[in-house]
Amino acid sequence: MEIEIDHILKKNQLSVTGSRKKILELFLQSNGALAHADIEKKTGEKFDRVTVYRTLQSFLDKGIIHTIPTADNSIRYALCKDDCSEGHHHDNHVHFVCSKCSNTICLDHVTVPTVKLPAGFKAQEVQMVVNGVCKTCLS
Amino acid sequence: MEIEIDHILKKNQLSVTGSRKKILELFLQSNGALAHADIEKKTGEKFDRVTVYRTLQSFLDKGIIHTIPTADNSIRYALCKDDCSEGHHHDNHVHFVCSKCSNTICLDHVTVPTVKLPAGFKAQEVQMVVNGVCKTCLS
DNA sequence: TGATATATGCAACAAAGTTGCAAATCATTT
DNA sequence: AAATGATTTGCAACTTTGTTGCATATATCA
């Protein structure tokens, strides 16, 4: 784990620091998406708010994480898969938000279907978010 | 127009006031979605910030408008179609965000395709947002 | 027109995000 | 292992965004 974290950071030309290691660890541990507030809570206020913002921003820039659109004004971040490279993401999978536990889960094996747009529109990226009850909350 | 606005408000048991009329007019005029900031700008700071928030909230409650998920931490609102009733929305159409003019457009005639979820997941609502270049910016 | 209910604006506050800068930490070379 | 230079961090101050309580103003309806 420790080794994997260091490897990911170095691979992306980021220096290995305490906050980056800790925040990346959180993403690797959680199978879902994290909002800024989640990270602050889970790190136990160990790091400055500003540092968390900047760390997330640099992870975004490097393509380590991606954002998930939500209707409730809270950006959520999730780990990108290995085939994500800087500036060019392949996270065309469906995201699931549970209305019970409010966890956001990447459904890596459910790809976003293509839609036919009206004439004159050119698609670049498609995001799909499903709201409902997740596996753990349904049982 | 004036008559239509009054009608919509009365139909939804909302008293007809200056701010509600003006804000509803903005939605009817724009064919896209509006963020809170857009509304403040377009009304020319005529109304208090708080009033705009509350007006949007009551429009949401009554099902006159709906929210559109975004990845950039800004709630966007768009008019619901006539078949929207209180608490029960039928806005299962695709939303388009132009990366040039950054307008958000409701593609009313493009319905969100159904996806097959993994076992154990139960879908309630599906949102689809397409990013790209819109009709006006492409030409 | 007057009574009542509702909506508005103000003030004060809470939360979320940004920027500049000095001190601390990391990577690298010797 | 220590020194150097580049990067990162934490602090402070600030801006933006959203919320709440309450007195005043406005709309609705008899």
The model's confidence at residue A86, banded by pLDDT at 50, 70 and 90, is very low
Mean pLDDT, chain A, whole residue set = 88
How confident is the model over A17-35, as pLDDT tens digits? 999 999 999 999 987 899 9
Nearest CA in chain A to B120: A135
Phi-psi region of A109 (alpha: psi -120 to 50; beta: other; left: phi over 0): alpha
Residue B95, burial from CB neighbour count under 10 angstroms (0-12, 13-18, 19+): buried
Specify the 3-state DSSP secondary structure of B6.
Answer: helix
Predicted model pTM: 0.85
Report the pLDDT value the prediction gives residue B85, as an integer from 0 to 100: 45
Q: Which residue has the higher pLDDT, B46 or B84?
A: B46
| Closest residue on chain B to A129 (Cα) | B127
Element (H, E) at A59: helix A49-62
By percentage, how much of chain A surpasses pLDDT 70?
A: 92
Whether the CB of B114 is less than 7 Å away from nucleic strand C comes out as no
Each residue of A96-137: pLDDT tens digit? 988 888 888 888 889 999 999 999 999 998 999 999 999 999
pLDDT at B15 over 70: yes
- The nt closest to B10 (CA vs C1′) is D28
Give the DSSP letter of residue A87.
T
B1 touches strand C (CB under 7 A): no
Element (H, E) at B34: strand B34-35
| Cα gap B86→B63, rounded to integer Å | 5
Residues of chain A in contact with residue B132, where contact means CB-CB under 8 angstroms, are 117, 121-125
Q: Residue A53: its pLDDT value, please?
A: 97
- With left for phi above 0 and alpha for psi between -120 and 50, is residue A45 left, alpha or beta? left
